[in-house]
Structure 1
Amino acid sequence: MGACVLKFLTCLTTQHDLRLVLVAGLVCIAGCFTTFRLYSRMRGARGVVRSAWLLLTGLVAGSSVWATHFIAMVAYTPGLKTGYSPTGTLLSLMIAALFMASGFAVASAQRSTTNDFAGGVLLGLGVSAMHYTGMSAFVTQGQLVWEHATVGLSAILGVAGATAALVVAGSARTIRRQAMGGGLLCLGIVALHFTGMSAITIVPDATIVVPEQLLSGAMLTLAVVSITGMIILGGLGAVAIESQTSRSALERIRRLANAAYEGLVVVQSGKINDANAAFCELAGAPLAELVGRPLLGAILTFDDTNPNREGVRREGKLQPVAGGREIPVEVFSRLMDDGARIETTGLTVLAVRDLRERRAAEEKIRYLAEHDGLTGLPNRNSLQSRLAAAVERVEASGESLSVICIDLDHFKEANDQHGHLAGDAILVETARRLQSVVQAPSFAARLGGDEFIVVQVAGGDQPTAAAELAGRLIEMLSIPVAFDGQDLSLGSSLGVSLYPDDGRTAEALMANADMALYRAKESGRGVYRFFKREMDDSIRERRNLARDLRQGIADGELIVHYQPLARAIDGEVCGFEALVRWKHPTRGMIPPLDFIPVAEENGLIGALGDWVLRRACADAVSWEKPLRIAVNLSPIQLHNPALPSLVHEVLIASGLSPSRLELEITESALFKDYQRALDNLRRLKALGVRIAMDDFGTGFSSLSTLQSFPFDKIKIDKSFVENIHRHDRATVIVRAVLGLGRSLEIPVVAEGVETDEQILFLRGENCTELQGYAIGRPAPVDALEPWTMANAVSAFTEASTPPRRKAKRPA
């Protein structure tokens, strides 16, 4: 062994140009390093891309080995004329490239030591085959004598160097691994070459002629260095371009990922490979601290039992690395396998969305769905479920329960007079006061408008506890509410129902408390009333009537009858008053005194009044005579800001002249909102419509009302007319009103005229118009022809009117 080493050193130092040996070594190092750079790319690729990288790796490796060999051969100076056969030289290059590609292909087929050894053997044998094929192309003036043992040793050194290079380099993912692998491969190649060179002895032979056409050493060196340099530079260029492209793409992807609202994390083999800024913020740690950590089960847990379903959105919890509360997240995963790179195998990208804002929004939506937006109390929907739960509770525990229905007295007046902000302030303060007197499991709720509910759960005698609470609520709600520097008066009426006496379900308790509230309002407000069974039938009847009326308006069950008005001086009919009637499908004709109050209580009077106005105007247009038509306005209509626009629209739609329409109002209707009512009346007058004061003398401040607004007509209430000649005071009042009308030059109409004596008196007192059974009964529109035809006799006579006798008041 020592002799071999001595011969190796002697050969290297005495028979070689050390400058060229250094060049050969540099070429070998550069080529081997480039080879492992390419090898790392090849190991990470698949398919066609892998084949391309393998071809380039084999070419660079083979040319590097080949260049190292022939530059070192040129450095060899045996003292004889030498040359190189072109055929053998090129053949050795092809052998080197083929064996190198094969060796790297085997080594990268599967990451294992066996494959590394097999690939190393192929690489070592390739270097040996290339070396000794290249030696066969060496021609000199002598005979080559080989020492076979040394030749075998050279092959072993080549295989050992190549194998060690593959084992140490591994996947060659880092520069350090690539440099170590390239260095060991270079060492194996150099060891094989110079050991092989030390195995030959040249015996000079003058008979051997070196042909002139053989490649000279200088030419071979130039060609080898040029070709190999270009190949190596090409390989390095390819790696550089691919690396730069990958880095640029990675940077673009990272910028996009960091700009994403959702957290993105790349996982391979259950561990974090990469993540964007949003995920790092969620996890509460920098990327360097997260890489390599297990994700599932440690940082991220799923609500379901199958965390590996791709393409399915799942919800889970993310535990920050530094500790703290778990974050609810939604996760969407997808395999990131581009089919061209091995390192993407099993790589999974998870998009992690923070659900805290969404959960907070959902909680807010849930809260708003169950609570009143103004007061924060449970709303009607929430009340039903909470009351049902309270009923179940008292059934199981033996506790007692009461439902208190609360309605604020005169809330609408305060809201109209002081504005909606004042109304809101009253409602908010009411809610605050209710919450201050109830404690769980009791609770307060708002039904809507100015209606509230208090559900009391108590352990003792509930009637007593409910009465105490109701009294305390009335007292507390009677305290004025401060708003904008003034105190707003407040009051309340309460209805109370008890479990189980008044109902065993939430619906029954609510309905019966509402009935008790209705009774409290009828009692004068500011009081509370307990539900009593006997009130059920009457209130239920009114509610059924309200329901039927609402349906009757929609189904066209209402009809309009018309009662004539006549001039007192000659009895000629000058107009009609529209009076609504309801023909119920099962109850028959229902008088206005029965259903008008129901309509007012249940908010139907507005729709009813509008319908009557439209119907009356449409009927009046069909009359041949241009007689006036009088229509009563309800207080709700009078205070509606849209009333003038409605009347204008009805007049245009029907084609009725404004001077033929007479709108009748009562004094009491004016005083609910005096200024708004006067504003509407002035706007109606501007349209040309006539305004009459109905039931004059029964309201308040009649004279001041006449002073405030120029009415076109005054109607004396029938309660005074029917007592003419019966009561002296009534006779004096009628005479005074007629004198007042003459003084103010306002026509006066007497209602309820039923006898000849009344007619004679009213004529004698210069009454302008008469209305009542003595003139004509209310009748449908198709029965009015005796008065509405152009050639009709319109004065009331014995033949055309009922007998002038005392008649009963109309139902």
Structure 2
Amino acid sequence: MSDGERLAMLDDLEQSGLGWFWASDAHGQLTYLSGAIAARLDVPLDELLGQPLTTIFAAADREGRGKSLALMLGAHKAFAGLAVRAARRSDGAVLRLAGQPVTTPDGRFAGFRGTGADITDEYHREEETERLARYDSLTGLSNRHRMAHQIEATLTAFKAARRNCAVMMIDLDRFKHVNDTLGHAAGDDLLKQVADRLSRAIDRECEIGRLGGDEFQVLLPDIDDRGVLGDMAMKIITMLRQPYSLDEGRCVIGASVGIAIAPHDGVTREEIVRAADLALYASKNGGRGQYRFFSGELENETIFRRRLEQDLGSALRDEQLFLRFEPIVEAVAGSVCALEAHVCWNHSDRGMIDEEEFAQIVEGSALLGDVGRWAIGAASLRAAMWPDSVRVAVNVPVPLFLADDFVELVAAAIEAAGIAPSRLELEISEAVFFGDSSVVDRTLAALFKLGVRLTLDEFGSGFSSLAYLRRAPFDSIKIDEKLVAEAERHDSRELGLVRAIVALAGALEMDTIANGIESADLLAALKGCGVRYLEGPIFSEPLDEATLEQELSQGSWKIEPGSERTRRARRRTVFRKIQVIHDDYAYEVTLRNLSKSGALIQGLADVPKGTQFVVDLGGGQLAVATVTRSNGDVQGLEFEQSLIEDGSGGLCTRNRVSPYALAAAGTPLAPLAPGKFIGMDQGGAVPKFGYAMQPA
């Protein structure tokens, strides 16, 4: 074959795109390039010749893990499989280069000769495959596998550098109901909007992932301040509970958040993720729409609550459930016109579980509908023993309302009790309107025909729609308790909403009910807005049957609001043992109460004002405090740094003792123990204060 024929064949090969060629001199400057390559790069050939290869091509590696062109050329060794693209166009064609070094007869390096191939389509297919393997296809967030890798890598690196990081677990409340009633397309759209809001809610470096379903995870490096994390969690909860617009309609969901911090709550990925999971579980059980930090006590709390859920079936079979009744008062006359039934549980081991805790246990349980069935029957039988002027109100779980035999159940309960249908008031959540509209309308019409009273519960919680208010035969609207609470805190705007709801109800010939009222000021404001029926601790806590029987024995019952009545605190920190440290000596005392700014302790004698203590609240929570008042064996303390909300009604310190500091002192790096943190070696320490009474 002649040289001319060989060159012609090479030209044909270059033009076909099957084989491209390039060459450089000893200085790395381009001396030859197939015209087809220049065309693929969309750069004129004469602008490329004579230029350094490193300014023409850039590595196409996605995350900078690949080989460097400059290093490959500088090594003067053969290379292959190097993916590059035009340095001036990051979105252009992707080429695979191979090169062989060229030497002169005397062995000096003279440059490279090589080949190239267009791998653009192959590269993008691999890129998409790799992206799908690491990212959630629906939301674009990191997926479970990538989040696990990121957490693992971060914890490993941060352990060596003694840095902190936090992990948040986020679970959507009521998402399943939206998905079941509006369809999976609506659910997918909702998840996309949630992902977008999450990305906007967190204004610092982080990694956000969707683990699947409605569960999300956030990795936050270099943070252990629980005040900052709590504010961030509350911002996420607030943003996620704002209304969503979907093609299928408007909806509102909520979110619960669990937070764990490394290395305080865990050192390995398994430990820290498990801690965040336990915190999330606790926040959901605490009433949802909350955040919760991990603490060592949560594991026992979680195990116990799961056992309670498992025991619920026995409670129904063995008649362990009972009712307590909360008065609903007519605003003008002050007389009790109805009693709302609350389900409680007389547990064989735990004892009495009140209505608040029971509601948290039963929510989401498969037995929620069965509990509702029992409550309607039991409440109707109890109402038969009251004066005819007093109704009984029962909350209807959504699954029970949507059951095929619900209307028959209500009719049977009324007949068995022998009461007028109008004396049974069913409180129905707005969430039922996410169900099949024909089923909902048919059920409401049948209940109306039956003659029971219907109350639209939690109005203003976010589901509210005038469309179903117009078509549904409700007798009254119950204003959402959270809206009432906001009206007490912020007054003007929220009270304006209450007035608007009252006006709307009046136009539709419906009554209004407000509950959760504790203060005299809020009571007066609600009366001023025209709310007809009122309920809350300012009138009475839920009453047992014996007390109720006594109150109703006179026929009519009026309740004067009492300003001293307040809702029972759900979480009490009083009367627990803690340690306080002074001059290297640890004293055990009784914590009587706790606030953000200070505490009241009991047990030490002769403690002067101005004494400084380090208060050990457990789990590495140390607070420096000064005695501001001392009376006998009781001291009032003021904290140097205020405590913060823990997201579930309690208080905690912003920061905790660092496990890294303990490790530096010779202790193995490990999560903080849940109990008392300082077990002082008091061999040479002398107590300055004596015990006024021996601690139990």
Write 1 or 2 for the structure with the bigger share of strand.
2
TM-score (structure 2 length as normaliser): 0.39
Structure in which a larger fraction of residues adopt helix: 1
Return the TM-score normalized by structure 1.
0.34
More RCO (CA 8 Å, sep 6+): 2
Which has the higher Rg, Structure 1 or Structure 2?
A: 1
